[in-house]
Amino acid sequence: MSFSGYLALYWEFLIQRFKILLEYQVNFLIGVASTFFLQATGLLAIWIVMRQVPLLAGWSFNQILLIYGLVTIASSINQLFADNLWIVGSVYIRTSQFDRFLVRPINPLFHLLADRFNQDGIGNLLIGLLLLIKALVALEIALTPLKLLYLIVAILSGGAIFIGLNLLTAVSAFWVIDSVPVTRAIFETHTFAKYPLSIYGRGITLLMTWLIPYGFTSFYPASYLLGRDVGLLAWGGPLAAVTLLLIGYYAWQFGMRHYSSTGS
């Protein structure tokens, strides 16, 4: 199937998902409201800290909001479009539902991702956008055409980095069935990316740049927008995203060759 064919098919999946959401509007509102509450607690913690320490390693409250907003948007993209990677083992492989992806004439990974659009990510997306806009206005960052293009690419790359890392860890489901602990162990490190990497030791900075590159979802793009010199790392997001997606996809293909149905 061609790329345009997959886009059209995904749109059909999305339409069906929204029809379901219209039938359960209360659940949708509860999901969005819960994400607002969870994000509010994290932001409150930052506000309390910054009340006592106006500058955190040279970063102001609004500058940290810029970082926080960028990583929140990137995470929400993953939550919206790739949330099924979390449950591929516990829900699909363990119950043999994964088998139905193998007997249909479309890519199994595409079918897995298209099978569920997680509406809870809408709340995180809205919060991230609000924080980003608030920070840009407060910091008086003028979005020239180049900076606007950079911002769009950085956001899309950030989302792809989250998806790539989740895909890479979700592959473990082909052997251990429940891949959630593996995925969570990597995913939770993105908490470091909600703050400037410069406040951590060298070990954390290296980890978040070269091994688990969540730094490219927030710190390095924010540094570029603020005029802080981080060298070529400011442009490393797309490369990190493509690399992780390719490695994750090849790992997925390898796992598929070793898949055997549970028969349940």
Among 58-67, 81-90, 115-124, 235-244, the least confident range: 115-124
Give me the residue spans of the domains in the chain.
3-257
pLDDT of residue 258: 86
Q: Are 215 and 208 in contact (CB under 8 A)?
A: yes
**How much is the pLDDT for 52?**
80
> Which DSSP state fits 142?
-
The pLDDT tens digits for 78-124 are 999 999 999 999 999 989 899 999 988 899 999 999 998 988 888 89
Q: For residue 56, what pLDDT is reported?
A: 87
Q: Is 157 exposed, middle or buried (0-12, 13-18, 19+ CB in 10 A)?
A: buried
Nearest 10 degrees: Cα torsion 157, 191, 72, 213: 0
Give mean pLDDT, residues 236-259: 96
Q: Is the pLDDT of residue 27 over 80?
A: no
Q: What is the pLDDT confidence band of residue 46, given thresholds at 50, 70 and 90?
A: confident
Using 50, 70 and 90 to split pLDDT, how confident is the model at 38?
confident
What DSSP assignment string belongs to 156-201?
Answer: HHHHHHHHHHHHHHHTTHHHHS--HHHHHHHHGGGGGGGS-GGGS-
pLDDT-derived band of residue 53, with 50, 70 and 90 as boundaries?
confident
Q: pLDDT category, 263, cuts 50, 70, 90?
A: low
In 3D space, the residue among 166, 156, 236 whose CA is nearest the CA of residue 197 turns out to be 236
Phi, psi of 56 (to 5 degrees): -105, 100
Say if residue 264's pLDDT is above 60. Answer: no
DSSP code for 56: B
Using pLDDT thresholds of 50, 70 and 90, give the confidence band for residue 262: low
Write down the mean pLDDT value for the chain. 91
Rounded to an integer, the average pLDDT of 233-258 is 96
